[in-house]
């Protein structure tokens, strides 16, 4: 293992990173820094979340910036404002001893006029999200004709978020002589196509097995009925009194709902999602980073750019549809040489997802039983005893009150006093978990529901007003139905997902229940509407026209949100 001194970085950069505690480069840094420091080739770098990609590209690049030239020489594009702010903060720290180097972050959800003023003053490095960068380019404020370096960070996520058009527009404003760097955790066909389109004969740097999970993370799953998912989450939090982690949900609606429930139940939690203003996001993240929050409930997109090295847990309230998303999530714990735990709360119809993650990523899950009330009470009791044993006593303040306290409690013996002090903190757990039920699902309870007709079952066809454009998949559709119905045995038949709407079959006896259960439920901010489908779907040309109209509206809405 080499040290940063052996990479050949400048004394100014070495001094800054030494103050940050950097000693040895991570594998992706060890490969990337020499390539960028002395080379001119385009680069595709593949590495998982949390492996130090920001330092890998920024440390060598900041040395090559001409600080006497106020033109934009480096553009870093990333999917979210949180990540843009984090990258900017890191680059500022790395360039602490480089004079006259200016970095500006530009992103949606913030005052564009302030960002425009910063750019007009002159910045050699701009870090931004595609929507805002494209907007500033079109206004003529952000000029990229002198650009030397283009960095596409979290490229796979930018494509997943639908930024292809913005990327095309931005890159068309850059010179062909630029050096382009593409960083991604995964290499699907879309990223290969992106590399072929934007890069010229790139060198590929790869660290670790693609889609592999971090070796410092333990992977655990609990199996419960869908309706017991929140109760299981509470028990996970209670069995881990010192938990400091992120709970991942699929949608903004679910994120808000889970966070509100946790806060109402007395947990130190808050939510991070796309509906928050930048000021609200900053406030939540400040509280989380300073550990005033123990639990942050977030969507995948909102959590991009969260850079916290000492998370104890990542909890998948719902498993994501993509394997890559699971490795992204789990990679947020077990960082910086520490160990962590990634937990999945799985309902009865998701066991196949666990097997798929294991097969593709090489991760091995361990199934554990949701802790009982008695186990939680025992853990909490001894956690309290440990706190009492290790608490720092402020003698100067306490001693003055001690005579009155002793007099007040003189009627109790030692054992009675211990019981009373413990009960002050502990009674709520005993009361809550008294007679609590077993949340675990056992083999005999699992019903193997698979799409398609079985035996003599009859199915009814339903219409729902969301489709591929909203991120709907067969698994997510079944999950929505399962989570919003009390019935455990909703049988699905054929599922036909179109661009803006979907047809799906459920057993005839469950049709009315499904329609009623999904009424008013939101999916990705879209209020769901379910009704019996007509005998035939719209004709092909009518469907295409309908899809195009809705697609145009969807794009317009997306741009407004950015």
243-276: pLDDT as tens digits = 999 999 988 888 999 999 999 999 999 998 877 8
Per-residue pLDDT, 49: 62
pLDDT tens, position by position, 74-91: 999 998 887 888 899 999
* 520-527 LR contacts (CB < 8 Å, sep 24+): 521/253, 521/480, 521/484, 522/251, 522/253, 523/251, 523/253, 523/466, 523/470, 523/472, 523/476, 523/480, 524/251, 524/252, 524/466, 524/470, 524/471, 525/251, 525/252, 525/253, 526/465, 526/466, 526/470
Contact yes or no for 523/472 (Cβ under 8 A):
yes
pLDDT tens, position by position, 459-498: 888 999 998 888 888 878 887 887 777 655 677 788 888 8
Pick the closest to residue 499 from 459, 472, 475, 460 (CA basis).
472
pTM above 0.75, yes or no: no
Q: In this predicted structure, which of 26-30, 213-217, 427-431 has the lowest mean pLDDT? A: 213-217
SS3 315: strand
∠ Cα 540 541 547 (to 5°): 90
Contact yes or no for 514/477 (Cβ under 8 A):
no
Q: What are the structural domains of the chain?
A: 4-206 (3.40.50.300), 217-372 (3.40.50.300), 374-433 (no CATH), 447-561 (3.30.70.330)
Residue that the structure tokens 């494209």 belong to: 134
Contact yes or no for 330/219 (Cβ under 8 A):
yes
Residue that the structure tokens 């060198």 belong to: 203
């Amino acid at each position: 293992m080499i040290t940063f001194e052996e990479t050949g970085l400048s004394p100014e950069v070495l001094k800054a990173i030494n103050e940050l505690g950097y000693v040895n480069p991570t594998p992706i840094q060890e490969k990337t820094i020499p390539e960028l420091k002395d080379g001119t080739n385009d680069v595709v770098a593949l590495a998982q979340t949390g492996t130090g990609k920001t330092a890998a590209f920024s440390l060598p690049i900041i040395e090559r910036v001409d600080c006497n030239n106020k033109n934009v020489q480096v553009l870093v594009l990333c999917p979210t404002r949180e990540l843009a702010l984090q990258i900017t903060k890191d680059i500022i720290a790395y360039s602490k001893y480089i004079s006259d180097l200016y970095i500006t972050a530009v992103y949606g959800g913030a005052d564009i006029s302030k960002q425009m003023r910063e750019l007009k003053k002159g910045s050699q490095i701009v870090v931004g999200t595609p929507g805002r960068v494209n907007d500033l380019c079109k206004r003529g404020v952000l000029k990229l004709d002198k650009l030397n370096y283009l960095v596409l960070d979290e490229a796979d996520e930018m494509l997943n978020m639908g930024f292809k058009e913005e990327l095309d527009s931005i890159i068309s404003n850059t010179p062909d002589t630029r050096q382009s760097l593409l960083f991604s955790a995964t290499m699907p066909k879309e990223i290969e196509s992106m590399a072929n389109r934007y890069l010229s004969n790139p060198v590929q740097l790869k660290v670790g097995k693609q889609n592999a999970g971090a070796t410092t993370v333990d992977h655990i799953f609990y199996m419960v009925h869908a309706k017991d998912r929140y109760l299981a989450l509470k028990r996970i939090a209670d069995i881990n009194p010192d938990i400091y982690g992120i709970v991942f949900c699929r949608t903004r609606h679910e994120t808000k709902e889970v966070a509100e429930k946790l806060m109402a139940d007395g947990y130190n939690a808050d939510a991070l999602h796309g509906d928050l203003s930048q000021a609200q996001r900053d406030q939540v993240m400040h509280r989380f980073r300073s550990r005033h929050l123990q639990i942050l409930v977030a969507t995948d997109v909102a959590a991009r750019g969260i850079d916290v090295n000492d998370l104890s847990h990542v909890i998948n309230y719902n498993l994501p549809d993509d394997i890559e998303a699971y490795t992204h999530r789990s990679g947020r714990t077990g960082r910086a040489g520490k160990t962590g735990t990634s937990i999945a709360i799985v309902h009865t119809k998701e066991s196949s997802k666990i097997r798929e993650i294991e097969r593709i990523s090489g991760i091995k899950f361990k199934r554990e039983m949701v802790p009982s009330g008695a186990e939680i009470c025992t853990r909490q009791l001894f956690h309290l005893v440990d706190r009492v044993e290790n608490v720092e006593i402020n003698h100067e303040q306490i001693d003055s009150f001690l005579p009155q306290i002793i007099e007040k409690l003189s009627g109790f013996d030692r054992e009675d006093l211990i019981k009373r002090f413990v009960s002050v903190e502990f009674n709520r757990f005993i009361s809550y978990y008294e007679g609590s039920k077993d949340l675990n699902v056992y083999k005999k309870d699992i019903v193997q529901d698979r799409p398609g007709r079985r035996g003599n079952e009859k199915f009814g066809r339903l219409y729902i007003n969301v489709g591929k454009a909203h991120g709907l998949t067969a698994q997510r559709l079944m999950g929505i139905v399962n989570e919003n119905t009390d019935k455990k045995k909703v049988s699905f038949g054929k599922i036909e997902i179109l661009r803006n709407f979907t047809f799906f079959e459920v057993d005839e006896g469950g049709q009315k229940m499904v329609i009623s259960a999904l009424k008013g439920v939101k999916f990705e901010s879209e209020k769901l509407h379910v009704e019996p489908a007509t005998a035939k779907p719209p004709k092909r040309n009518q469907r295409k026209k309908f899809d195009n109209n809705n697609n145009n509206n969807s794009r317009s809405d997306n741009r407004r949100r950015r």
